Amino acid sequence: MAAGEAGPPHMRVLLVATSFDRSYGGPASSVPQLGAALAASGIDVGLWAPNNTARLVQGKEGTTLLGGTLDQACAAFGRPDVIHDNGIWLAHNHQVAQRALRASIPRIVSTRGMLEPWALNYKRLRKRVAWTLYQRRDLERAALLHATASMEADNIARLGLRVPVATIPNGIDVAIRTRAPYADPARTRVALFLSRIHPKKGLPTLIEAWRLVRPSNWELHVAGPDESGHRADIERLVTRAGLAQTIKLIGPRDGEAKADAYRTADLFVLPSFSENFGIVIAEALAYGTPVLSTTGTPWASLLEKDCGWWVAPSLEGIAEGLRQATACGDARRHEMGLRGQALVQSEFSWNGIAQRFNEVYAKLCSGPAHAASARPLGMELKDADPGSKRLSR
């Protein structure tokens, strides 16, 4: 199927997420954008979330934003051919699984990093109980699991789930972005962190690394919404380390403020312990900003394409990455940024991502046996358990 070509006639896909409020992180933005790209390819797309109030993200063109309960949303949208759920663990994810099972509707589950080792160990006891009571069963009743990178797919496979796993990355708007022009060589450079302020993002390690390196004439700007009160912990660490003059917590950044933050940064830093994709890395690269991130993210291409630094998620690794990134000079960082832009434009356009999901949905709609053996062009698909492609219950 060519890019932009419509899928099967009248195909209807219901996309589910926890929320479409920007403060909820990546899927709140990427799911509506996927919906818009699918709609542009000819699919009827419904968007539903149990928490779809507050500041709705952009990117819903051509889609139907559904309110109310899941039952009310399905009644308004009509019977979907495929339900594509984003996330696990929560009550509404279980509700979606039950509804799809009762109605015999193929269901895709994008696990969104929630089966990564770090994530499974976070609030571990509660997740073990949920895994035993319902979560494993719900996953094995899906037609397909979706990972955004091969590292995430490998971690899913290690759990022994009897269901195939498709690997398709997130997309981004790959339009050429312009950077702010370089000004006075004596100006203060900016390293930008822009993500949720959450324990898995590794901010305490970054702050300690910044204290050790103390790059001359640099500031670290920490942007993003607070989660679970973690910002207060970070503020205390900054004060205790005596770094309040060079580390600025600047709050959430959306829309033009977010674009300006990327555009004016000299370096983007995401020191996460775990990311299934890390959409902010792709966004930073799209602005021509080189990236320092960790091997807890699936971004080995930062090294392979020479557009950033990919280091161990440890104090030593992040500190060494900071030393190199802040010392290499504007010209070197600019060259790396141009290579990052080229990488994003070649691999992460929404048109291409929508085409790959189009192929997946079409195969699921053609029947379970066909879907289980499908190998769509350009998409990695692996069986988590070689003994069984799909569990029938």
Q: By C-alpha distance, which of 29, 112, 107 is closest to 70? A: 107
Residue 163, in any domain of the structure: yes
- Return d(Cα 162, Cα 157) in angstroms, integer: 9
Specify whether the CB–CB gap between 177 and 262 falls below 8 A. yes
pLDDT of residue 26: 76
In this structure, the chain runs to a length of 393
Q: Are residues 63 and 210 in the same domain?
A: no
Q: Are residues 166 and 270 in the same domain?
A: no
pLDDT of residue 27: 86
Q: Are residues 337 and 356 in the same domain?
A: no
Specify whether the CB–CB gap between 94 and 353 falls below 8 A. no
Q: Are residues 303 and 223 in the same domain?
A: yes
Q: What are the tokens at 154?
A: 């490998």
- Return d(Cα 1, Cα 7) in angstroms, integer: 8
Give residue 248's identity as a one-letter amino acid code: K
Residue 366, in any domain of the structure: yes
Residue 228, in any domain of the structure: yes
Q: Are residues 205 and 336 in the same domain?
A: yes
Phi, psi of 220 (to 5 degrees): -110, 120
Sorted by sequence, the CB contacts under 8 Å of residue 219 that are 6+ apart come out as 188, 189, 190, 191, 246, 247, 248
pLDDT of residue 176: 62
Phi, psi of 176 (to 5 degrees): -60, 125
- Return d(Cα 260, Cα 247) in angstroms, integer: 18
Q: What CATH number is given to the structural domain containing 225?
A: 3.40.50.2000
pLDDT of residue 94: 98
Q: Are residues 342 and 367 in the same domain?
A: no
Range of the domain at 376: 12-171+349-383
Q: Are residues 135 and 241 in the same domain?
A: no
Convert the chain into a string of H (helix), E (strand) and C (coil). CCCCCCCCCCCEEEEECCECEHHHCHHHHHHHHHHHHHHHCCCEEEEECCECCCCECCCCCCCEEECCCHHHHHHHHCCCCEEEEECCCCHHHHHHHHHHHHHCCCEEEECCCCCCHHHHHCCHHHHHHHHHHHHHHHHHCCCEEEECCHHHHHHHHCCCCCCEEEECCCCECCCCCCCCCCCCCCCCEEEEEECCECHHHCHHHHHHHHHHHCCCCEEEEEECCECCCHHHHHHHHHHHCCCCCCEEEEECCCHHHHHHHHHHCCEEEECCCCCCCCHHHHHHHHCCCCEEEECCCCCCHHHHCCCEEEECCCHHHHHHHHHHHHHCCHHHHHHHHHHHHHHHHHHCEHHHHHHHHHHHHHHHHCCHHHHHCCCCCCCEEEECCCCCCCCCC
Residue 272, in any domain of the structure: yes
- Return d(Cα 13, Cα 62) in angstroms, integer: 13
Q: Are residues 22 and 166 in the same domain?
A: yes
Q: Are residues 288 and 221 in the same domain?
A: yes
pLDDT of residue 254: 87
Residue 2, in any domain of the structure: no
- Return d(Cα 257, Cα 225) in angstroms, integer: 14
pLDDT of residue 318: 98
pLDDT of residue 28: 85
pLDDT of residue 1: 45
- Return d(Cα 40, Cα 6) in angstroms, integer: 8
CA atoms within a 13 Å half-sphere pointing along the CA-CB vector of 208: 10
Residue 73, in any domain of the structure: yes
Q: Are residues 37 and 162 in the same domain?
A: yes
Residue 183, in any domain of the structure: no
Task: Split the chain (393 residues) into runs of 10 and give each run's mean pLDDT.
Answer: 50 94 78 94 94 50 86 92 97 97 97 94 95 98 96 95 95 74 79 95 98 97 93 96 97 92 96 92 95 96 98 98 96 95 92 94 75 37 39 25
Residue 291, in any domain of the structure: yes
CA atoms within a 13 Å half-sphere pointing along the CA-CB vector of 297: 28
- Return d(Cα 198, Cα 206) in angstroms, integer: 13
- Report the predicted TM-score, pTM, of the whole model to 2 decimal places: 0.77
Q: In what order do the strands lie in the sheet with 189-194?
A: 247-251, 218-223, 189-194, 267-270, 291-294, 308-311
Q: Are residues 353 and 335 in the same domain?
A: no
- Return d(Cα 3, Cα 212) in angstroms, integer: 49
Q: Are residues 163 and 250 in the same domain?
A: no
CB atoms under 10 Å from CB of 72, counted, come to 12
Q: Number of folded domains in the chain?
A: 2
